[in-house]
C-alpha cells in the first residue's frame, strides 16, 4: 500500500474466507488494528460505536447484509464496506448505506481477467461521470516518470533488468521516480488527455461469429442424432413392422365389410395407439382375428410407451442442449474458453461477448443459476465434460485428413 497509515480507531472485519483474510492482512500491514467477527451479534462486543470502519467481506450475502445494516443502525458515522453479489440488492443498499461502499468482487475482478486474457495494457473505467484510463507501457529510456509521461498520474512501476533493483514493485510512486529503459510503468489519466497523446483503449480484435438459422438447424439435427438412445431406432423399426404387418393381416382377413388398404392402416393405427374412434371393431370377426387384435393392442401399448419415453428423454433432457453446445464448439476458432460459471465467470463471459469475442463455457453443474444468463448471450455450454471429451476424441480420430477439429 505504499506507505503506512496510522489508524486511531479499529477496523472490524467479518468473514473467514480467503478474501476476508487477505483484506485483514493488508489492513494490518497498513497499520490498522483489526477486530475479527463472524456474526452481527458480535458487533457491539467489537466496539462498533468507536470503530473507524466495518468491512463485511464474507461469501454469504445474507450475513454481510445483516452486519452492514446493523452496523449502520448502531452508528451513522462508521464507514461500512460490504461485499454483495446480488446486483439488485447491491443497488438498493448503496442508496441507504451512508459512508462507505457496497462492492462486488466479480465487478472488480472481471475486467482484470478480461484484460489479461486479451493481453491488453489499458483499462477504461468511469467515475463520477469522468472516463479514466489506466495504461501500462515499458519505459523507452532512462528518465523520471515526469519526463516520460508528463502530468499523467503514476499507479505503479515494476523495475526491469536494467534497473539496479530488477523485479522490485513500486506502488503509487511519485512523478520524480527514476525509471530505466524496460521498466514497466502503469499510469492513469483522463481518457481525453490520453487520446490526445495517442493512447487509446484497444478496440475489439475479433467479431463474434453468427451462424445462420439453417446451420443451427443442421447442428441441432446432428446433435439429436448423436445423442439418441441406441434402442430408439430398433423400436421405430419394430413399430413400423408391426403397423405394416398388421395392416396386411387386417386387409386380408377382416370380413363384413371388406377393408381397403387405407381403412386397414387407419384401423390398425387406432388399435396400436389405443385411441379407437369406434368406426371399426373386431366383435363380429373370427376368433383368431380377435386373438390377434388382443396381441396387437398389448404390443401397440408397449411400443407406443417406449417410443414416447425415448422421444421425451431426447427432447426434454439437458443432454440435447449440451450436445448441441459441443457441436457448436467444434466449429469455433480463435475463441475463449471460460471454465466455471460463478459470479466472476458470468461477468467475464458477458464482457468478452460484449467485446466481440466467441466464448465457450465449461460448467459441470447442470443446475447452475447463471446458465440462463449465458443462454441469453447465445454462448454454448458444455456440462458433461468426460462424456463430451470421449465423443470429441472419437470424432477427431475418425475425421478425414485435413478436417478442422
pLDDT, tens digit, 9 for 90 and up, residues 346-385 = 888 988 888 888 888 888 887 888 888 888 888 888 876 5
State the residue for C-alpha cell 413399430. Answer: 239
Average pLDDT over residues 48-76: 89
Cα–Cα distance for residue pair 315/223, rounded to 1 Å: 11
Burial of 391 per CB tally in 10 Å (0-12, 13-18, 19+): middle
pLDDT bracket for residue 137 (50, 70, 90): confident
pLDDT, tens digit, 9 for 90 and up, residues 96-113 = 667 877 777 677 667 767
Q: Which range, of 120-134, 197-211, 242-256, 367-381, averages the lowest pLDDT?
A: 197-211
Q: Residue 140 — φ and ψ, nearest 5°?
A: -75, -20
Fold annotation for 121-196: Alpha-Beta Plaits (3.30.70)
pLDDT, tens digit, 9 for 90 and up, residues 24-40 = 888 888 788 999 998 88
CA neighbor of 324 nearest in space, from 227, 213, 212: 227
CATH tag for 214-316 (out of 1.10.10.10, 1.10.340.30, 3.40.50.300, 1.10.287.70) = 1.10.287.70
Query: Could you tell me where in the chain the CATH 3.30.70.1450 domains are found?
Result: 121-196
Q: What is the pTM assigned to this prediction?
A: 0.50
Query: Could you tell me where in the chain the CATH 3.40.50.720 domains are found?
Result: 11-103
Distance of alpha carbon 379 from its chain centroid, rounded? 9
CATH architecture, domain defined by 11-103: 3-Layer(aba) Sandwich (3.40)
Strand 11-14 with 381-382, pairing: unpaired
Domain 319-398 matching CATH 3.30.420: the answer reads no
HEC assignment per residue over 182-215: CCEEEEEEEHHHHHHCCCCCCCCCCCCCCCCHHH
Query: Could you tell me where in the chain the CATH 1.10.287.70 domains are found?
Result: 214-316
How much is the pLDDT for 3?
Answer: 41
Q: Residue 287 — φ and ψ, nearest 5°?
A: -55, -40
Q: How many DSSP H helices and E strands does the chain contain?
A: 14, 15
Amino acid at each position: 500500500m505504499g506507505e503506512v497509515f496510522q489508524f486511531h480507531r479499529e477496523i472490524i472485519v467479518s468473514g473467514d474466507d480467503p478474501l476476508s483474510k487477505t483484506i485483514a492482512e493488508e489492513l494490518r500491514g497498513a497499520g490498522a488494528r483489526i477486530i475479527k467477527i463472524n456474526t452481527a451479534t458480535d458487533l457491539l462486543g467489537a466496539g462498533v460505536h468507536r470503530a473507524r470502519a466495518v468491512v463485511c467481506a464474507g461469501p454469504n450475502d445474507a450475513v454481510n447484509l445483516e452486519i452492514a445494516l446493523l452496523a449502520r443502525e448502531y452508528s451513522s458515522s462508521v464507514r461500512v464496506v460490504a461485499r454483495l453479489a446480488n446486483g439488485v440488492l447491491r443497488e438498493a443498499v448503496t442508496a441507504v448505506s451512508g459512508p462507505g461502499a457496497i462492492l462486488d468482487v466479480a465487478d472488480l475482478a472481471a475486467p482484470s481477467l478480461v484484460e489479461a486474457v486479451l493481453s491488453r495494457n489499458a483499462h477504461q473505467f468511469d467515475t463520477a461521470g469522468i472516463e479514466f484510463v489506466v495504461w501500462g507501457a515499458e519505459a523507452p529510456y532512462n528518465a523520471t516518470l515526469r519526463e516520460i509521461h508528463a502530468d499523467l498520474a503514476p499507479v505503479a512501476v515494476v523495475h526491469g533488468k536494467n534497473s539496479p533493483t530488477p523485479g522490485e514493485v513500486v506502488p503509487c510512486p511519485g512523478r520524480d521516480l527514476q525509471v530505466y529503459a524496460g521498466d514497466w510503468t502503469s499510469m492513469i489519466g483522463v481518457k481525453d488527455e490520453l487520446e490526445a497523446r495517442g493512447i487509446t483503449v484497444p478496440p475489439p480484435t475479433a467479431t463474434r461469429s453468427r451462424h445462420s438459422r439453417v446451420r443451427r438447424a443442421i447442428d441441432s439435427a446432428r446433435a439429436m442424432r448423436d445423442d439418441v438412445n441406441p434402442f430408439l431406432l430398433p423400436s421405430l423399426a419394430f413399430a413400423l413392422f408391426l403397423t405394416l404387418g398388421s395392416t396386411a393381416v387386417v386387409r386380408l382377413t377382416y370380413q363384413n365389410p371388406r377393408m381397403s388398404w387405407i381403412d386397414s392402416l387407419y384401423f390398425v393405427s387406432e388399435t396400436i395407439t389405443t385411441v379407437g374412434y369406434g368406426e371399426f371393431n373386431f366383435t363380429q370377426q373370427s376368433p383368431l382375428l380377435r386373438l390377434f387384435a388382443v396381441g396387437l393392442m398389448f404390443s401397440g401399448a408397449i411400443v407406443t410407451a417406449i417410443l414416447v419415453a425415448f422421444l421425451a428423454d431426447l427432447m426434454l433432457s439437458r443432454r440435447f442442449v449440451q450436445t448441441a453446445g459441443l457441436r457448436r464448439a467444434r466449429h469455433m476458432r480463435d475463441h475463449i474458453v471460460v471454465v466455471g460459471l460463478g459470479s466472476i465467470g458470468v461477468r467475464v463471459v458477458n464482457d468478452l461477448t460484449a467485446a466481440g469475442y466467441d466464448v465457450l463455457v465449461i460448467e459441470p453443474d447442470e443446475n447452475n443459476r447463471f446458465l440462463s444468463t449465458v443462454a441469453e448471450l447465445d454462448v454454448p455450454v458444455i456440462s458433461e465434460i468426460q462424456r463430451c471429451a470421449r465423443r470429441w476424441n472419437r470424432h477427431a480420430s475418425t475425421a478425414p485428413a485435413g478436417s478442422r477439429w
